[in-house]
Chains A and B, each alone.
Chain A
Amino acid sequence: KNEVEQSPQNLTAQEGEFITINCSYSVGISALHWLQQHPGGGIVSLFMLSSGKKKHGRLIATINIQEKHSSLHITASHPRDSAVYICAVLFFGNQFYFGTGTSLTVIP
């Protein structure tokens, strides 16, 4: 059983739609990362959260420590947002676990 659950696994949206990707984890963590992997394969870190909310451009990430849940939102989605989004959780003990990823396709 994966300690990090991510949903949905696949998501198709029309350009301009508001998108939400969810991540839930089972035990206490020290930090949570949202990663983006484009079809070319490279992985970049979008956000690192330990509490509250962060915003970067059209991307917003939130985390609720009590509920052990994080969301990644994309406003005014664009085809260039098409990628795999991965939740990575840093458990106490410096061990990272990853969600299974959400494959997002934004259609023009």
Chain B
Amino acid sequence: DTAVSQTPKYLVTQMGNDKSIKCEQNLGHDTMYWYKQDSKKFLKIMFSYNNKELIINETVPNRFSPKSPDKAHLNLHINSLELGDSAVYFCASSQGFSPLHFGNGTRLTVT
């Protein structure tokens, strides 16, 4: 009964490949996010979805695309992976002023 679950936990792939990370929340929250955490532990927002509408799209490469089939899911697709994409990616959700709920993270390693 995990609140925010993301898969896979670890992802190792080669440059140039296309990969996806899935995220699901069972909290009934309206807003879901994708964050990237770099090697210095700095979190940066990538995307935010509210009621299936993209409301924030930071200046991330268009190789990254969020896909939300319904408000409980926000998947992250990455095309043509590059070495610099290696990081930990976190999915999170929130509702209004409720606390942020994070998934356990996906550690992406591009070789």
Partner-B contacts on A (CB < 8 A) = 30-31, 33, 35, 37, 41-45, 47-48, 50, 84, 86, 88, 90, 94-98, 100-101, 103
Contacts and interface: CB of A to CB of B under 8 A. Distances in A.
Given A43-B102, A88-B100, A98-B42, 6 more contacts: A43-B90, A43-B105, A44-B102, A45-B99, A50-B97, A98-B44
Given A42-B105, A94-B48, A33 B56 contact: no
B25 interface: no
B58 to A, nearest CB: 9
B99 A33 contact: yes
Interface of B: 31, 33, 40-45, 48, 50, 55-56, 88, 90, 92, 97-102, 104-105, 107
Contact of B41 (A31, A94, A103): A103
Given A42-B104, A84-B41, A94 B31 contact: yes
30 contacts: A30-B97, A31-B97, A33-B99, A33-B100, A41-B105, A41-B107, A42-B102, A42-B104, A43-B90, A43-B102, A44-B102, A45-B99, A45-B100, A45-B102, A47-B99, A48-B99, A48-B100, A84-B41, A94-B56, A95-B45, A96-B45, A96-B100, A97-B45, A98-B43, A98-B44, A98-B45, A100-B40, A101-B41, A101-B42, A103-B41
A39 B50 CA distance: 30
B31 to A, nearest CB: 7
Nearest to A101: B41
Nearest to B105: A41
